[in-house]
Amino acid sequence: MKPYTIGFIGLGLIGGSIAKAIRRVHPDFRIIACDQSRSNLIAALSDGTLNETHDTLSEAFGSCDIIFLCAPVSINIEYLTLLKPIISENCIVTDVGSVKTTIHQASESIGMSHCFIGGHPMAGSEKTGFQNASDRLIENVYYLLTPSQNVAKEKYDQLRALILSISAIPVTLDYREHDRITAAISHLPHIIAYALVNLVRLADNSDQIMRRLAAGGFKDITRIASSSPIMWQQICEENAPQIQNILHTYIDSLKEISEAIDAHDDAFLLEHFSLARDYRNDIPASHTKSVLSSIHEIYVDIIDESGAIATIATILATNGISIKNIGIVHNREFQEGALRIEFYENEAMLKAIDLLRRFHYVVHERN
């Protein structure tokens, strides 16, 4: 791959992670960026990620072969208009947003569909900013690409090759299909999690007994409600039509369940729950990194006796395995195992599973 000049508009978590990955794999590339945060630019210049920084969009971006738009979707659309008189005919413009329709429509309306390829790396973290960027964040994650119909195959192949080179997994979709899919598997689950947490918050009593008892399965299935409220408010606005479609379908399905419970329709409920269980169990292990950091945890059966937890902690510590968190699970309605152990990384978890089983502990892995 010949050396490219790559531009980044916005250098937060995702933009910074892509830039770092490109720098690691392609040290001869020239990488420039502009960002509202001077601290992001200074940090990226200091650690060698960037060759050049700019406080605002400048003529320097006219030399870019590929430009990544890494701001919120509405701001990325504004930058499209600003880039049009600057970029060369061969330049590729892409973005990293989780909603594609609005920016594709904007690229068509201003005559930039020939150079625009939508992009969406399905990765993230609850942390933000360049200081939390990692050159491995998008490694082995699905990187959705939504090329405009007017984009030449050579440009698409060029961007796809770059994505492959930094070890992401490119998947090509129509931009409308992208928004329909993400509405169902990402946007709606977040809305449900927020709604469910608020439902319990409002239903709780003054002693907050629900909050105390929710530390088990409820907290686990609503984990994504800890992600950025601002980001999800923006996504609901940007992908409103698709979210509304899938949300109404979901509401209808809840009504069906409610009616079946009222009618004591056990056959419907059994089939409904069985189909969901089977489909969920067939979902393959994830290639993506969630918008929240991955949880590396196991559950261990232990006897309620003095020193039981200390014994396990000692076994792990003497074998060089660091524990992030450990504690008794008081609500085991959704999870086997009395002791929950969380690790900093997947490798440590796998080593702990093997080690504890060799000491004849019963270990339950997270599903």
Rg of the Cα trace of the chain? 24
For the chain, helix (H) and strand (E) counts, in that order, are: 14, 12
User: Which pLDDT tens digit goes with each residue over 121-141?
Assistant: 988 765 678 998 989 888 888
User: Which pLDDT tens digit goes with each residue over 161-193?
Assistant: 999 999 999 999 999 999 999 999 989 999 999
User: Which pLDDT tens digit goes with each residue over 282-311?
Assistant: 877 655 555 555 678 888 988 767 888 999
> From residue 79, how far is each of 24, 30, 87, 200 by CA, in Å?
27, 21, 12, 41
Residue 154, H or E segment? helix 153-165
pLDDT at 288: 53
pLDDT at 296: 86
Q: Report the alpha-carbon distance of residue 361 to residue 308 in Å, rounded.
A: 11
8 Å CB contact between 18 and 139: no
pTM, whole model, 2 decimals?
0.76
